[in-house]
Amino acid sequence: MAKLSSNDYRVFIDTASVFSAVGGQISTTVDRGETSFSAIDKASVVEVTGRAMRNYSVALEYRPDLPDTAGHSRLETVYASGAAIGVQVRKSPFAVGDVVFACSMRVASMNTGSPLNDVNTINAAFTPVAAPTTDTLA
């Protein structure tokens, strides 16, 4: 039985209207979920429970391949500015038509691991500023 491989998915970021893959990708996580809410009407003491907004986030772990002006350097710049950036997850063979998730997002965090005598690893987390424009990731 065939299985999906982590090598089949890559994160691409918007670099002046052209999407480029971040170099050195190790893993990608796309979280999608929904939370519920609960409220009590004080006048009639009735509890109301319902569905709230959907939650989305993308996490990317990578080892920067420098120089990477369209990937790592771009993420550092966007993180420092707090601006939103277009983020896409593409399925192999990673062409424009292979987008399975796309959303305008902010770089919420960039954490660097620097083990002695080893390669730095970056963990970047993205949070949405709008609803995804594409969400067909299975």
Q: How many domains does the chain have?
A: 1
Question: Does any domain span residue 1?
Answer: no
- Distance, in Å, from the CA atom of 10 to the CA atom of 20, rounded to the nearest integer, reads 10
Residues 6+ apart with CB under 8 A from 70: 13, 15, 20
From CA 20, how far away is CA 16, in angstroms rounded?
A: 10
125: domain CATH number is 2.30.110
Asked if residue 38 is part of any domain, the answer here is yes
How far apart CA 55 and CA 76 sit, in angstroms, is 24
Residue 10 within any structural domain of the chain:
yes
* 81 part of a folded domain: yes
Reported as a single tens digit per residue, the pLDDT across 11-39 is: 999 988 899 999 999 999 988 887 666 66
d(CA 55, CA 21): 24
pTM for this structure?
0.82
Examine residue 39 and state whether it is found in any structural domain, yes or no: yes
Query: What is the per-residue pLDDT across 50-84, written as a single tens digit (0 to 9) for each?
Result: 555 678 899 999 999 889 889 999 999 999 999 99
Q: What is the pLDDT of residue 55?
A: 82
C-beta pairs of 84-87 under 8 Å, 24+ apart in sequence: 84/129, 85/13, 85/14, 86/13, 86/14, 86/19, 87/11, 87/12, 87/13, 87/14, 87/58, 87/126
Range of the domain at 49: 6-135
The predicted-structure confidence for 108-119, as pLDDT tens digits, reads as follows: 999 999 988 889
From residue 98, alpha-carbon distances to 40, 58, 92, 116, 134 in Å are: 45, 17, 7, 38, 11
